[in-house]
Structure 1
Amino acid sequence: MMKNLAFALQDYILGIQHVGHVVSDLEAAVADFEALYGIDVNTVRWEPPAGVDSPSRFAFVTVAGTEFELIEAREPQMRAQIEKYPSGGAGINHIAWRVKELDTVMAMLAEQGVKPGHVTPSGPVRFGSKALVYLDPATTGGALVELIEIFE
């Protein structure tokens, strides 16, 4: 990867949005976070909500101001896709940074050879009040990085 001295990703990062953590059993992982960190399980955000069938389930848990996205892949195809990435299917999967000016960031990263990848190979996906993109680990030194811009 070439270094463009006129661009530094850290200048566009506003902070950590969340840390993605792959788990084999979502309910057990939430219980572990409750026991270890003393979180209030009533503050956990479940997506999709109970009763909705999905290839993956997520629980968002906040510890000391940092949000963890606990990810449980439920179908073999989704599990196989997660297992391809640096965490190997368990543990820390990715870091999600909240950024400003996502389109500018992506253009500058492209100039350095950094490409979108994972579930967003065509670039940023926009929905509601946010846009997000994963960066291809093959172009980031092996790290799976997610960039999120929230429009307020």
Structure 2
Amino acid sequence: MKIKRLEHVAITVKDMDRARETWVDVLGIAQEYEEEIQGTRLAMLPVGETYIELLQAVGPDSPVHAWMDEAGESLWHLCFEVEDIEGAVVELKSKGIQLLNEAPKPGHGGSRVVFLDPASTGNVLIELAELAEGH
């Protein structure tokens, strides 16, 4: 498995507009795009070759909703860009790593993603993403 870079750091927020006051207005990090996936509103803010991903639950089925009940606004996960998501899944399984989803699912910006079970990674939620062409 080839990890290309730290693609993003995900942070859960209660209110996207209020969060943008800090990240965009105060820190001056421009927002590149915003979208909604699986009951979650997300905003991507580039910092060099890495992004800050702000995540807000917009429905009770959002995985962010459950996280916010436990942890509130906080760091949620680290995402690494990989070249071949299927190959990464095969390699990780061969090394005994548990995954939260073994089949890649749709992610931000048209990417395909899998999440590693924090029980296998020292209690750190890790996302692997194979980016769509042009991202």
Q: Indicate the TM-score class for this superposition, using the shorter chain for normalisation.
A: 0.7 to 0.9
Residue 44 (structure 1) shift: 3.8
Gaps of 5+ in 2: none
1:102–1:55 CA distance, 2 compared to 1 (3 A): closer
Q: Is residue 129–residue 151 contact of structure 1 (8 Å, CA) maintained in 2?
A: yes
Alignment partner of 1:107 is 2:90: yes
AA partner of residue 136 (structure 1)? D
Calculate the TM-score normalised by the size of structure 1.
0.72
- The 5 A counterparts of 1:1-152 are 12-40=2-30, 43-48=31-36, 55-78=39-62, 79-83=64-68, 88-117=71-100, 121-125=101-105, 130-152=111-133
How many corresponding residue pairs? 131
1:107–1:122 CA distance, 2 compared to 1 (3 A): closer
Q: Is residue 37–residue 63 contact of structure 1 (8 Å, CA) maintained in 2?
A: no
- RMSD in angstroms over aligned alpha carbons? 2.7
CA radius of gyration, larger in: 1
- Give per-residue Cα distances to partners, 1:39-82, cap 9 Å, x unaligned: 34xx441213xxxxx73211111234421110011334435422
1:108–1:64 CA distance, 2 compared to 1 (3 A): closer
Residue 89 (structure 1) shift: 3.3
CA distance in 2, matches of 1:129, 1:58: 13
CA distance in 1, matches of 2:59, 2:10: 18
Calculate the TM-score normalised by the size of structure 2.
0.80
2:112 counterpart SS class: strand
Residue 122 (structure 1) shift: 3.8
1:72–1:151 CA distance, 2 compared to 1 (3 A): closer
CA distance in 2, matches of 1:18, 1:97: 7
CA distance in 2, matches of 1:56, 1:131: 16
